[in-house]
Structure 1
């Protein structure tokens, strides 16, 4: 999927879905998150979705992989 042409909201929704479905936050996912934070103004809803990912990682519900 070409993430450059999609709106940040669509990218974040798809990213969150992929991570929760697999239970893993990969290097590629982390690069996408970093790009979103650096180059887009995120809405409160988007920031909340990302914070939920981080919370799930801290709680052990999701894992980070290399």
Structure 2
């Protein structure tokens, strides 16, 4: 299985893009996957991921 590499600042970029467009793209979802699988992400990034997933669950963000 190929290694997923999280780019610096990608979580904040996904959060900002999702807030603007109200959708998560396939590349956003792969970025979130890489972040969730990364054991070294900071607590603030983990909370941002939780906010994104909660927004999807509540229907505030759609999946494109």
Paired residues, number: 60
**Cα deviations by residue, 1:11-63 (Å, 9 ceiling, x for unpaired):** 11111100111000111101111122334511111000010001111111111
TM norm structure 1: 0.76
Higher helix content, 1 or 2: 1
TM norm structure 2: 0.78
CA RMSD, aligned part only?
1.8
Structure 1's consecutive aligned runs of 4 or more residues displaced over 6 angstroms after TM superposition are none
* Gap regions ≥5 residues in structure 2: none
Residue 48 in structure 1 maps to residue 47 in structure 2: yes
> 1:30 aligns to what?
29
